[in-house]
């Protein structure tokens, strides 16, 4: 309806997961690279969690599209099936043309299927969507499927996708065997305000315009009401554009977003502001520096504290006939002092003389030193007692900051996957420590493959390996702005690819300091 008014060729904020409108921020790209690495390296159990509407489905669609022909996969959209229905569903999805009436028959055929796939150098991926709906029995059955493996290799990767409460399910004592097998666990957080702005502008660009249809105040309101969830962002933006079209307003402002949020009755989110203006209820910030977001956190409390009338405070009754009152205690102490005096008079006087003698000596010493200690109003500070203040320097000064490497650092990967060899992991640890010490330095991470042809797939694979190195350094504390990545595929080989040694040498990532 509003497409022509805003010079749009397509509706930009449809709820459906259209691959053309996919936008991935840094956290989504990191999740995609991490999960793809887990699949290609046969890590076994993988887990992706996130709240409703954070973009898990879009991420999985992108992951599936990026997989090569050597990955056989299927997804279970509804895991709340009974056991035999679950087995028959995944058997049919993997092309096993048979209906099973017993678990034993299914396991026999499924094992043969996995072994044949392994012989053809293919990896098998089972995706369990909405994993929080799994029953305890089915979760255990899925765990047992992972026991079908070779002595030196796993035959199936199981990828759980669920909401945040699935983490609580895994933390139960009865699920510790499943939790221990989770080799990769990634939680997808909502978007930040800056990411919301980039997300909106990306979808508008794909739809046909590069104009800024939402001003910054409107973007902030969208973030506050949506909580950073893409699904809510789409709903709010769609209704805001419709309202702007009705008013013939070319740029959406904060007022339109607020009105749309009220009309939609979007339920308040714990990270959001209430749909109604918190100031309308008479709640005002007590502190001038308190932001509306801080105020909104108080406005969302579903059980506000009830203020009951305070009864008058009467003086506390004084205890009567207290056996250990203060006057009796003092009397008792004095009694023991006099008893000690009469029983041991010599010891008493000895203690007194020992206690007074040092005091008299100290007083005489002070009187003798009085002239030397008189303060004089001098303009120059006294420096006699602080000669050579740095004769014993701190040990920290003996440890100079770690120097950044001048030459390129090469990181190589194992032949059976995209795992970094252990020797080069130590190199990455040293690089991370140097970058942390030098926060203004930047590096270029370049990935290469062992393929002789520089096709699109090889470029993506080399970029993926560079992303693995970046993710490792991020985990060590290096800032994202310090790193740039690129993939060059099979370009610039250092050895010939006709030997296993040459292919291993070319399957590498190079790190170079650029600033």
Q: Are residues 66 and 176 in the same domain?
A: yes
Low-confidence residues of the chain: pLDDT under 70: 266-332, 334-403, 414-419, 451-457
The reply to whether 66 falls in a domain is yes
The reply to whether 133 falls in a domain is yes
The two counts, helices (H) then strands (E), for the chain are 17, 11
Q: Which of 154, 188, 222 is the last residue of a domain?
A: 188
The reply to whether 311 falls in a domain is no
What range does the domain containing 264 cover? Answer: 193-299
For residue 73, give the 3-state DSSP assignment. Answer: strand
- Token representation of residue 374: 């008189």
- Contact partners, residue 180, CB within 8 Å, separation at least 6: none
Q: What is the pLDDT of residue 35?
A: 86
Q: Are residues 92 and 219 in the same domain?
A: no
β-bridge partners, 150: 153
Torsions phi, psi for 184 (to 5 deg): -135, 130
Q: Are residues 181 and 231 in the same domain?
A: no
Q: Are residues 231 and 272 in the same domain?
A: yes
CA distance 456 to 272: 42
Q: Are residues 184 and 201 in the same domain?
A: no
Cβ atoms of 262 and 273 within 8 Å: the answer is: no
Q: Are residues 200 and 157 in the same domain?
A: no
Give me the half-sphere count of Cα atoms (radius 13 Å) on the Cβ side of residue 14. Answer: 12
Q: Are residues 182 and 213 in the same domain?
A: no
The total number of structural domains in the chain stands at 3
Q: Are residues 183 and 204 in the same domain?
A: no
Q: Are residues 282 and 268 in the same domain?
A: yes
Q: Are residues 262 and 175 in the same domain?
A: no
Q: What is the pLDDT of residue 371?
A: 47
The reply to whether 343 falls in a domain is no
Q: What is the pLDDT of residue 47?
A: 92
As a 3-state breakdown, the chain gives helix, strand, coil percent values, each rounded to 5, of 50, 10, 40
Q: Are residues 200 and 99 in the same domain?
A: no
CATH of the domain at 478: 3.30.1330.60
The reply to whether 436 falls in a domain is yes
Q: Are residues 48 and 165 in the same domain?
A: yes
- The DSSP string of 143-169 is HHHTT-EETTEES-EEEEEE-THHHHH
CA distance 277 to 280: 5
Q: Which of 158, 173, 188 is the last residue of a domain?
A: 188
Indicate the Cα dihedral angle 257, 258, 263, 264, nearest 10°.
60
C-alpha dist (Å) from residue 78 to 3, 130, 162: 36, 7, 11
The reply to whether 361 falls in a domain is no
Model pTM? 0.52
CA distance 440 to 153: 43
Q: What is the pLDDT of residue 448?
A: 87
β-bridge partners, 513: 443
The reply to whether 379 falls in a domain is no
CATH of the domain at 156: 3.40.50.300
Q: What is the pLDDT of residue 377?
A: 46
Cβ atoms of 189 and 50 within 8 Å: the answer is: yes
Digit-coded pLDDT (tens) for 305-344: 434 444 444 444 444 444 445 556 666 676 666 666 556 5
C-alpha dist (Å) from residue 13 to 117, 366, 435, 512: 41, 87, 40, 41
Largest CA distance in the chain: 111
């Amino acid at each position: 309806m509003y497409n022509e008014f805003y010079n749009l060729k397509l509706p930009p904020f449809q709820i459906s997961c259209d691959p053309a409108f996919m936008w991935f921020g840094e956290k989504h790209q990191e999740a995609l690279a991490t999960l793809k690495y887990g699949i290609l390296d046969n890590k076994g159990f993988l887990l992706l969690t996130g709240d409703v509407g954070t973009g898990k489905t879009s991420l999985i669609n992108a992951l599936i599209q990026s997989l090569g022909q050597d990955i056989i996969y299927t997804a279970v959209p509804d895991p709340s099936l009974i056991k035999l229905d679950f087995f028959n569903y995944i058997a049919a999805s993997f092309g096993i043309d048979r209906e099973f009436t017993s678990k034993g028959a299914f396991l026999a055929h499924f094992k043969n299927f996995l072994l044949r796939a392994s012989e053809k150098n293919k990896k098998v991926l089972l995706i369990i969507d909405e994993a929080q709906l799994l029953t305890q029995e089915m979760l255990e059955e899925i765990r047992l499927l992972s026991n079908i493996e070779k002595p030196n290799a796993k035959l199936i990767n199981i990828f759980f996708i669920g909401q945040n409460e699935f983490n609580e399910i895994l933390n139960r004592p009865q699920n510790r065997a499943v939790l221990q097998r989770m080799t990769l666990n990634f939680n997808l957080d909502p978007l930040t305000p800056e990411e919301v702005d980039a997300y909106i502008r990306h979808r508008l660009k794909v739809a046909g315009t590069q104009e800024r249809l939402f001003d910054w105040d409107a973007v902030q309101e969208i973030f506050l009401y949506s909580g950073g969830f893409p699904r809510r962002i789409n709903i709010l933006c769609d209704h805001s554009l419709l309202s702007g079209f009705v008013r013939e307003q070319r740029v959406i402002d904060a007022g339109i977003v607020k009105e749309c949020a009220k009309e939609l009755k979007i339920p308040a989110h714990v990270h959001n502001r209430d749909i109604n203006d918190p100031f309308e209820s008479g709640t005002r910030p007590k502190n001038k520096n308190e932001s509306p977001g801080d105020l909104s956190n108080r406005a969302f409390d579903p059980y506000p504290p009830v203020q009951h009338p305070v009864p008058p405070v009467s003086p506390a009754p004084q205890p009567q006939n207290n056996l250990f009152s203060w006057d009796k205690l003092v009397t008792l102490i004095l009694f023991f002092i006099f008893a000690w005096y009469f029983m041991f008079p010599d010891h008493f006087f000895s203690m007194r003389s020992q206690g007074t003698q040092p005091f008299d000596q100290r007083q005489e010493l002070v009187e003798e030193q009085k002239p030397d200690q008189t303060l004089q109003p001098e303009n120059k500070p006294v420096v006699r007692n602080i000669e050579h203040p740095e004769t014993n320097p701190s040990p920290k000064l003996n440890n100079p900051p770690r120097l950044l490497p001048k030459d390129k650092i090469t990181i190589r990967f194992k032949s059976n996957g995209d795992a970094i060899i252990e020797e080069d992991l130590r190199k990455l640890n040293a690089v991370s420590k140097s970058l942390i010490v030098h926060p203004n330095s930047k590096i270029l991470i370049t990935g290469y493959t062992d393929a002789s042809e520089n096709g699109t797939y090889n470029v993506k694979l080399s970029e993926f390996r560079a992303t693995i190195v970046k993710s490792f350094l991020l985990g060590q504390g290096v800032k994202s702005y310090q790193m740039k990545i690129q993939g060059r595929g099979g370009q610039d080989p250092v050895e010939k690819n006709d030997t296993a040694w040459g292919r291993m040498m070319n399957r590498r990532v190079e790190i170079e300091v650029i600033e």
